[in-house]
């Protein structure tokens, strides 16, 4: 890509850079307060509400939206759908950054970063779901890091190391799918321990299944959404393969998302029948549940189907953004809104502005890291010195 | 005055009965939805199909 060498340098003080810089400065300041003065100074967490948005958003939403890595690599390397190959590296990068930021955000909630390895060396039993989540996230983050390294190694010119890592592609993909299946579902299973706290419309013995299946939808939608943004902001970094395959990726992933969403919708309705929670549908919570189920599951399912039938990429891309929002709504509902639903409003949780500040800070770090990597490493184009793997 | 006493079995039959009906509707619905989703596809576009030159096996 010789033309890249002569690219005109953009000014450093763009509106994006200024806003990102302000967010980072505020985030660093809040980080200082959090780790010197504790949770009470920076959060509205309490004994009733020990999990706030650092878990409900940063962890639950972060892990779900990072599912594009295993979904795309499984489609390409396990199911042999090589026409999605150009989507693998951006999806792996998004997944890797997503999980890395999940672990970073977890530090804010848990505190004492030096205790991060405790689940492996000091713990009361391997039957704990939290142990399973910790083990899988740690292992999967390692897998994603290794899956991401070919791009970094090509950038660094380390051909031998890149060749060795490439040979691990299939094994890593299988590991990724297995580990993701385990911990995506376990995050939902965490709430099985609290049947009296989670509203009956959201509580279900199938919670683990809901989280896993919705993570597939999240992964598919996130790849389309992220690809749309990349096309808009990093169009000049893309080679012809990425540009040519992008529409096919959106159509193929949109079709898969439509069908998986249909299955997810059916599972949710059957879950409703199994817990016999129909009577709650006529309450305020029931209305909000229907907004989630019809507005963020059935509607995108139909919209994806229409987009695929009509080959309307605009509809598919807007639907992907809507579905990503739907995943956020679902995780917020399970983790925050429908949790402790029986408590009086005075005892309910609403995040402190510093909690929101840290979440925005973490997302901004992710965007900045993504931008740095995409502009420096062969993510959206194939490096001319290396074969495709 | 007579009272109807519902047993656990009665509740289970009702709940499971509704679930079984929903499952049958869903299974038929999946087939209809899949046809709706793919009926305008050309042969090379079916999910699972790849470009002919890329996956000869």
In a domain, A385, yes or no: no
In a domain, A4, yes or no: no
pLDDT tens, position by position, A297-308: 999 999 999 999
In chain A, the number of structural domains is 1
Smallest CA–CA distance, residue B1 to chain A, in Å, is 28
Residue A151 is part of a domain; what is its CATH number? Answer: 1.20.1630.10
The answer to whether A388 contacts chain B (CB < 8 Å) is no
Amino acid A264: pLDDT: 97
In a domain, A382, yes or no: no
In a domain, A163, yes or no: yes
Amino acid A3: pLDDT: 45
Amino acid B56: pLDDT: 42
Amino acid A239: pLDDT: 86
In a domain, A337, yes or no: yes
pLDDT tens, position by position, A104-122: 999 999 888 888 888 888 8
Nearest chain B alpha carbon to A259 = B34
Spell out, as residue ranges, where chain B has pLDDT lower than 70: 1, 43-57
- Position A74 pLDDT exceeds 80: yes
pLDDT tens, position by position, A226-252: 999 998 898 888 888 888 888 999 999
The answer to whether A266 contacts chain B (CB < 8 Å) is yes
Amino acid B3: pLDDT: 81
Quote the ipTM score. 0.82
Enter the tokens of residue A118: 């405790």
In a domain, A28, yes or no: no
- Confidence band for A219, pLDDT divided at 50, 70 and 90: very high
The domain of A318 spans 51-344+363-376
In a domain, A19, yes or no: no
pLDDT tens, position by position, A140-169: 999 999 999 999 998 998 888 888 998 898
Smallest CA–CA distance, residue B20 to chain A, in Å, is 9
Size of interface A-B (CB pairs under 8 A): 55
In a domain, A164, yes or no: yes
Amino acid B54: pLDDT: 47
Amino acid A205: pLDDT: 93
* Cross-chain Cβ contact A83/B54 below 8 Å: yes
């Amino acid at each position: 890509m010789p033309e890249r060498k002569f690219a005109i340098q953009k000014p450093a003080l763009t509106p994006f850079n200024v806003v990102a810089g302000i967010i980072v400065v505020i985030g660093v300041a809040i980080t200082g307060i959090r780790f010197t003065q504790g949770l009470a100074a920076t959060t509205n967490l309490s004994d009733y509400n020990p999990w706030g948005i650092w878990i409900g958003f940063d962890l639950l939403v972060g892990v779900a939206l990072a599912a594009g890595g295993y979904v795309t690599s499984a489609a390409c390397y396990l199911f042999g759908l090589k026409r999605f190959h150009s989507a693998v590296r951006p999806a792996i990068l998004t997944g890797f950054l997503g999980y890395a930021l999940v672990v970073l955000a977890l530090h804010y909630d848990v505190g004492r970063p030096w205790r991060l390895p405790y689940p492996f060396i000091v713990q009361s039993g391997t039957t704990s779901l939290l142990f399973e989540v910790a083990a899988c996230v740690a292992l999967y983050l390692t897998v994603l890091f290794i899956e991401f390294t070919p791009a970094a190694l090509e950038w660094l010119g380390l051909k031998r190391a890149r060749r060795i890592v490439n040979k691990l592609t299939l094994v890593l993909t299988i590991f990724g799918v297995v580990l993701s299946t385990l911990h995506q579902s376990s995050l939902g299973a965490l709430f099985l321990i609290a049947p009296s706290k989670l509203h009956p419309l959201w509580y279900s013995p199938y919670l683990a299944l809901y989280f896993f299946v919705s993570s597939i939808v999240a992964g598919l939608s996130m790849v389309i959404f992220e690809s749309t943004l990349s096309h808009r902001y990093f169009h000049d970094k893309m080679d012809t393969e990425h540009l040519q395959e992008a529409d096919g990726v959106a159509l193929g992933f949109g079709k898969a998302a439509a069908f998986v969403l249909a299955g997810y919708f059916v599972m949710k309705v059957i879950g409703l029948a199994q817990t016999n929670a129909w009577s709650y549908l006529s309450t305020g919570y029931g209305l909000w549940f229907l907004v989630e189920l019809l507005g963020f599951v059935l509607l995108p399912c139909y919209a994806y189907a229409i987009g695929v039938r009509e080959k309307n990429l605009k509809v598919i891309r807007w639907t992907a953004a809507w579905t990503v929002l739907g995943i956020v709504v679902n995780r917020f509902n399970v983790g925050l809104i429908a949790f402790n639903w029986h408590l009086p409003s005075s005892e309910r949780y609403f995040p402190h502005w510093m909690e929101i500040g840290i979440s925005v800070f973490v997302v901004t770090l992710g965007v900045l890291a993504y931008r740095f990597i995409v502009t420096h490493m062969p993510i959206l184009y194939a490096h001319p010195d290396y074969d495709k793997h | 005055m007579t009272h109807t006493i519902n047993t656990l079995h009665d509740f289970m039959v009702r709940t499971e009965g509704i679930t079984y009906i929903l499952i049958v509707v869903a299974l038929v619905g999946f087939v209809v939805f899949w046809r709706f989703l793919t009926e305008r596809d050309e042969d090379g576009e079916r999910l699972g199909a790849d470009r002919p030159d890329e996956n000869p096996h």
